Structure 1
Amino acid sequence: MIAYVTVGADDIARAERFYSAFLTALGYRLEEYHGDLSYIPPVQPGQSQVSPDFYVKSPFNGGPATAGNGAMVAFEARSQSQVRDLHAAALAAGGSDEGQPGFRASYGSHFYVGYLRDPHGNKIALFCSNPDEPGRDG
């Protein structure tokens, strides 16, 4: 089980504006610790945490934060409309577009996804695969 995912940031305030634009809408709670950001996923009453925490931190070695080539973190939304709304909110909060929300021929017929880059270049996906919503072919 993955316990946490960390991305680097040189400007924590810009990173907080970007990530808070969509993670809080997905139920994540923001905690700050020593100037870094910890987004804690929602936990249903009576259940233990099953999703990983998401951390945004200044690099420990003091060097600049850089994005990993081929690295991406994906967050699941409840609906296709939420993917579109959160993608737009993240763009307005300083992100850049890496692929507008929609269906992709490479994935299943109900996999609806939008791609972003955070202000530091980290790639983020917002997706929904709700079988109760219209699919790519319907």
Structure 2
Amino acid sequence: MRHGKTHRDQRGASVVEMALLLPVLLLVLFAIIDYGRFFYLQSMAASVASEVARTASLPDATDAAVTAELLAKLNNTSDATPPGFGLGVAPSVSITPAERVPGQPVTVSFSYPFEPLILPRLVGSALFPASITAGASAVVEP
């Protein structure tokens, strides 16, 4: 006889447990999504840096042309980049050395601001890096 009464007393327990755990589970899920987006954009930034370093290694490449290609790739004006880079923010670009010597390396690096999409106000500054940084080198062609 007591089985019916104890079952009836526990009817709302699962609802209360779900109400307590659901916000934490959603927070973890959204953090995983934002981390995935960050690592995806970091990977694509490395790819763009490699492509732009290859352009910078050409004999007639100028810093202005290299920077223009980098901006085009980051702002989705070419076919090489995925959606998500065209954030309308200019990256800080560094091309070294200023004078290119055939047979010597040229390095292109840039930093691009990153802000989480889902949880920027709650945990954005504490859990996520502030920027995406990438760089690549190539040997200047004769």
Q: Which TM-score bucket, shorter chain as reference?
A: 0.3 to 0.5
TM-score by length of structure 2 reads 0.32
Kindly indicate which of the two structures has a greater share of residues assigned to helix. 2
Larger Rg: 2
Kindly indicate which of the two structures has a greater share of residues assigned to strand. 1
TM-score by length of structure 1 reads 0.33
